[in-house]
Amino acid sequence: MDDKSKEIFGNKMSEKTYKKAERSKAKYAKKYGDDSDARYTAKLVENRILHKPFGVMDVRVNEGEGEIPFDAEKGVIVGNIRMGFGHYRISIAMASAAHALGFTPYWMDLNSYKDTTCTKVIGAQNDLYSLGSRLSQKSKLFNKVVWEPTNYEGFRQLSYNASDQKNAELMAPVFYSVPKDIPVIGTHVWPAQAAIHAGMKYVVNAIPDNWPMALHFAQGSIHLVQTHQSYMGYRILNGMSKKKINKPMPAESLKYVGHYIDHEMVANIEKDCDARIARKENGEPIRFLLTIGGAGAQRELFTAVIRHLLPAIKLKKAALYINVGDYKAVWDELCADIDELKDLACEHMNDWDDTLSFAEFAIDGKVEGVHAFWHEDIFEAVYCTNLLIRSCDVLCTKPSELAFYPVPKIFLKRIGGHEKWGAIHSAEVGDGTLECEDIPHTLQMLTLFIKEDTLLREMCDCIKINKTIGLYDGAYNAVKIAMGMKESESGNSQPLEEAQEATPEEAISEESISEE
């Protein structure tokens, strides 16, 4: 296999860059070992939370032999890692779409195989990223001098990808016992890179961000993007060697597909948007959903938002969902900061059945007050937000992966520089605000949504229009492209044809796949 750290889409790396990449791999191998000769087993186990709604099976590595065989015809691997909540959330969208299309989703989290070099390397980098996220919120100097430039320009460079590709060679062994002809959808670049290095034949790399960065390259895969703007940036490798003009990315390696969204949300867009407008017209409390991501940052901002909303909540002009994910300490800190919060809140704490019941009730029922959610299980923590999105009126979130979801949104201040382009895109397609770069502007936007219906109504109208042009069909398209790679080579198109026939017409359209 070609050395993917020496040449990236025909752009040769300097000897200095290549040597640096080799040193990076050697450093990790020395610290965490090199298990390239390991013969890891792989077995399938029902995912505790996602199997019931989507038929998701976990791929467990190095835990012995399994009794359930891989589905060679309809199986598709969703390769992911936990880095914050974003990549898990995109993976859930892919699993939901795969299930809706009649395929069997396999969940392969490369950050969950604790005895492997792969997980040790990913865990170390994940911990470093989370630390940087938190420090960026505590120190304006660190954010300006270190964090923003790293996220915005550092990860953008081809030289960064060269090192990442070398490190990913250490991740490949976890695929040893996975059938090589099962398609893989990577929702982070490392699973996509590792799959390519491991010899997986059909790999799709679902790029999450709207700011083109070489960080996201996995040569040998088909790269998917959610916006036309990012398509153009990736096509010419814009700014990835500073001012140098790069050789372009091959057209066959890049596809625009639309936003990666759960089937359940896409299929119910009209119903949910109509319900939002009806609640506003009927004078019901406007429902805000405040999400706290996996990095656990932005506590000061969350406190200000909650304090601002409490008077309106008491007057039944607003209601608030707060999902602290798997960070129970964050909820305790918020209650310590805001005297009235705990007494006003209905707590849904680590009880998944209760959360499911509330989420189902809230779609058509009446909701008042504050509802707080915490779940120790990572799948529950992430999927809780997905369930609550359908019944909320306005999602309050930083402009990360949730920027692409079909719900009216207020964008809180970003954590990484690359995130700002998610808010820009959302504002342009009409389903979200501009990024509120400080607390006063955030509170102003909250007040606008409470006092008038203009923003809510216009965003809901845009969301419904966007659906008609396939803007939210990205997850369906990702699955069809991944399965199509295999079927085009084998000449057997029956599984994909059957999936197309089984999908509700209003939820997916074959014409929405664009090859640019």
Amino acid at 228: H
Sequential pLDDT tens for the chain (516 residues):
578 999 999 999 999 999 999 999 999 999 999 999 999 999 999 999 999 999 999 999 999 988 999 999 999 999 999 877 888 999 999 999 999 999 999 999 999 998 999 999 998 887 777 777 777 767 778 777 776 777 677 888 999 899 999 999 999 999 999 999 999 999 999 999 999 999 999 999 999 988 899 999 999 999 999 999 999 999 999 999 998 999 999 999 999 999 999 999 999 999 999 999 999 999 999 999 999 864 555 788 999 999 999 999 999 999 999 999 998 999 999 999 998 999 999 999 999 999 999 999 999 999 999 999 999 999 999 999 999 999 999 999 999 899 999 999 999 998 777 788 999 999 999 999 999 999 999 999 999 999 999 999 999 999 999 999 999 999 999 999 999 999 877 666 666 666 655 554 444 443 333 333
- Angle among Cα 65, 71, 74 to the nearest 5 degrees reads 155
Partners of residue 60 on adjacent β-strands: 43
Total H helices, total E strands in the chain: 21, 18
The pLDDT value recorded for residue 293 is 64
Judge whether 259 and 297 are in contact, CB under 8 Å. Answer: no
Q: State which of 224, 256, 288 marks the end of a domain.
A: 256
The pLDDT value recorded for residue 135 is 77
Spatial distance between the Cα atoms of 400 and 208, rounded to a whole number of angstroms? 8
* pTM recorded for the entire structure: 0.92
Helix (H, G, I), strand (E, B) or coil at 81: coil
Q: Are 227 and 84 members of one domain?
A: yes
The pLDDT value recorded for residue 496 is 63
Q: Are 252 and 330 members of one domain?
A: no
Helix (H, G, I), strand (E, B) or coil at 257: coil
Q: Are 361 and 304 members of one domain?
A: yes
Residues in contact with 152: Cβ distance below 8 Å, sequence separation at least 6, in sequence order: 211, 416, 417, 418
Q: Are 233 and 277 members of one domain?
A: no
Tokens read off for 223: 């790269």
Domain count, the chain: 2
Spatial distance between the Cα atoms of 225 and 207, rounded to a whole number of angstroms? 6
Amino acid at 141: L
Q: What is the DSSP string of 266-328?
A: HHTHHHHHHHHHHHHHTTPPEEEEEE--TT---HHHHHHHHHHHHHHHHTTSEEEEEE-TT-H
Q: Which residue range(s) make up the domain with 300? A: 267-468
Query: Is 261 a domain residue?
Result: no
Q: State which of 468, 483, 509 marks the end of a domain.
A: 468
Q: Identify the CATH number of the domain in which residue 417 sits.
A: 3.40.50.2000
E-strand ranges in 95-244 read 104-109, 184-186, 203-206, 222-225, 240-243
Q: Are 12 and 96 members of one domain?
A: yes
Q: Are 302 and 200 members of one domain?
A: no
Q: Are 208 and 298 members of one domain?
A: no
